[in-house]
């Protein structure tokens, strides 16, 4: 059995290993090219003055910050466990995960910090999902957004992936963001692979990701109970136990 994994290579090593342990061959097809800002250090330095904490909404944000600054003294608040793990790997000593969404991260910050202690620096991409600054701003926090990287969408699926999907060689496909889901839908349709996706089960990290997949017909769509890799793998295990990666046609949500 093969599974198409659409996230960047830097983010999928653990998932690939866990798929392999289940006897599934991961096929890596990154749909976003992560490009760090060349002048990130210059942009970031003034934003860190007087800051009380850092906000990370992706592992790429952590990596971009680490490439732009040697500072590791500020506490780091991460949207989820993958971002928190990246922060720990980058050398941050004080790291806390919100285990969920941007709204969960805003709630965690409100419980742990006070607006009068200083600004918050959000290490972000040029395009962001959710309104973290708005949610925290409504509670009196000053959020400084540091645009440290750009996620450039792929313009075509690789020839190997097109051939694999067309031949029905991938039974599963993993999607971790609405943007990558939208990108896959667009590129699959452009390649004439819409019908071929009927033979695949899509595993989505969240309802928003699943909604972005809705323009294609899938064998089934399964959604992680929480927006993290562990529960997404739980959904996969249910798919495998039911045999629904290769049988059945319903779309549903695993919880």
CATH architecture group of domain 36-147: 3-Layer(aba) Sandwich (3.40)
Q: What confidence score (pLDDT) does residue 254 get?
A: 42
36-147 shares the fold of 2-31+154-242: yes
Q: What confidence score (pLDDT) does residue 246 get?
A: 56
This prediction has a pTM of 0.82
pLDDT per residue rounded down to tens, the chain (255 residues): 999 999 888 788 889 999 999 999 999 999 999 999 999 999 999 999 999 999 999 999 999 999 999 999 999 999 988 899 999 999 999 999 999 889 999 999 999 999 999 999 999 998 777 789 999 999 999 999 999 999 899 999 999 999 999 999 999 999 999 999 999 999 999 999 999 999 999 999 999 999 999 999 999 999 999 888 899 999 999 999 988 665 443 344 443
CA nearest neighbour of 128 among 107, 151, 110: 151
CATH of 2-31+154-242, one of 3.40.50.10090, 3.30.1640.10, 3.20.19.10, 1.10.3720.10: 3.40.50.10090
Q: What confidence score (pLDDT) does residue 253 get?
A: 41
Q: What confidence score (pLDDT) does residue 100 get?
A: 86
The domain locations on the chain are 2-31+154-242, 36-147
């Amino acid at each position: 059995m093969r599974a198409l994994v659409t996230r960047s290579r830097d983010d999928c090593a653990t998932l690939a290993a866990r798929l392999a342990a289940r006897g599934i061959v991961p096929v890596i097809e990154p749909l976003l090219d992560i490009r760090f800002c060349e002048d990130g250090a210059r942009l970031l330095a003034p934003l860190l003055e007087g800051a009380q904490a850092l906000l990370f909404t992706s592992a790429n944000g952590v990596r971009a910050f680490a490439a732009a600054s040697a500072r590791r003294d500020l506490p780091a608040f991460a949207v989820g466990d993958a971002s928190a793990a990246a922060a720990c790997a980058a050398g941050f000593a004080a790291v806390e995960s919100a285990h969920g969404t941007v709204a969960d991260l805003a709630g965690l910050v409100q419980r742990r910090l006070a607006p009068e202690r200083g600004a918050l620096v959000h290490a972000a991409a040029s395009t962001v999902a959710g309104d973290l600054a708005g949610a925290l701003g409504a509670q009196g926090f000053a959020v400084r957004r540091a645009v440290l990287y750009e996620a450039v969408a792929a313009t075509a699926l690789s020839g190997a992936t097109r051939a694999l999907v067309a031949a029905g060689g991938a039974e599963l496909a993993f999607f971790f963001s609405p943007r990558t889901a939208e990108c896959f839908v667009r590129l699959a349709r452009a390649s004439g692979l819409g019908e071929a996706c009927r033979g695949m089960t899509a595993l989505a990290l969240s309802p928003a990701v699943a909604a972005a997949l809705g323009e294609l017909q899938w064998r089934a769509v399964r959604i992680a109970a929480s927006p993290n890799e562990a529960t997404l793998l739980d959904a996969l295990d249910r798919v495998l136990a039911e045999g629904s990666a290769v049988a059945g046609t319903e779309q549903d949500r695993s919880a």
